[in-house]
A and B are shown apart, each in its own frame.
Chain A
């Protein structure tokens, strides 16, 4: 099942990349990044069967960072929405408020 799990992980990562590159809604782009992190977690877990439980430790770290990233990122999106009334990436192109 290792090969299948790694293949699925690669495909999910690719789907996440496609989403990041093609979607225009900032929230959906964030969710695609979460999908990519999930794909990486799947490879960590699959390979931890061969190389020891250290991979699972890293999955826990990845989850923590993902949670922190989601909190800060969504706060930024809320701030941008208050300012510009949109979350479309096409309209978000200046750094200063």
Chain B
């Protein structure tokens, strides 16, 4: 089943680009001293992972990854780092050297070129999609979200409701813990 999948070159190439991006970003993330710098590298990792999710036919999860992880959780982290004034401004000079600039410019030009190619050339759709049997997420009624929402609201309804209790407990706990004692 797995062995005779056929992946077009375009798909494979992009998969490796973003996998490498995620890998390098996470390596930079654990080696940075400043929490702000580390948090920004982690955001980069999460964006690359979101692209991988979309390429693995989990579009809804990819969007959630950007909204929840990169958009909400990391903002809370950065907020706390800056609230406690833990940043080390000297660390940011590592982004402004020439090597990283070259890598960033190369990646930017590469991805822009890919986008323009897709926009302007009458590419065969088969170049973009895999010939793997259409995955569960895209097959059947309900489009992208249907197959995810189905089990969520039937089979795992109890867990889903318990999640709301967990969030309520977390909110109350966070407010109580962070409250200033008078």
Expressed in whole angstroms, the Cα–Cα distance for A74 and B49 within the complex equals 24
- B41-82 contacts to A, CB under 8 A, are 42, 45-46, 49, 52-53, 55-58, 60-61, 64-65, 68-69, 72-73, 76-77, 80-81
Chain A interface residue number, banded: 35 or more
Given the interface contacts A28-B38, A67-B72, A81-B84, does A53 sit within 8 Å of B30 by beta carbon? no
Q: Mark A4-31, 1 if CB is under 8 A from B, else 0.
A: 1100100110011011001101011011
Majority-rule SS of B interface residues:
helix
Number of A-B contacts (CB under 8 A): 176
Classify chain B: how many residues form its interface, as a range: 35 or more
Determine if B30 and A32 form an interchain contact, defined as CB atoms under 8 angstroms apart.
yes
| CB <8 Å contact, B61 and A59 | yes
Interchain CA distance A60-B68 in the complex, whole Å: 10
Q: Please indicate the chain A residues that have their CB under 8 angstroms from the CB of B7 in the complex.
A: 1
Contact flag A31-B77 (CB < 8 Å), given A45-B53, A87-B84: yes
Interface residue ranges, A against B (CB under 8 Å): 1-5, 8, 11-12, 15-16, 18-19, 22-23, 25, 27-28, 30-32, 34-35, 38, 41-42, 45-46, 48-50, 52-54, 56-57, 59-61, 63-72, 74-79, 81-82, 87
Which chain B residues have a beta carbon within 8 Å of chain A's beta carbons?
A: 1-2, 5, 7, 11-12, 15-16, 19, 22-23, 26-27, 29-30, 35, 38-39, 42, 45-46, 49, 52-53, 55-58, 60-61, 64-65, 68-69, 72-73, 76-77, 80-81, 83-84, 86, 130, 132, 135-137, 147-148, 150-152, 155-156, 159, 163, 166-167, 169-171, 173-175, 177-178, 180
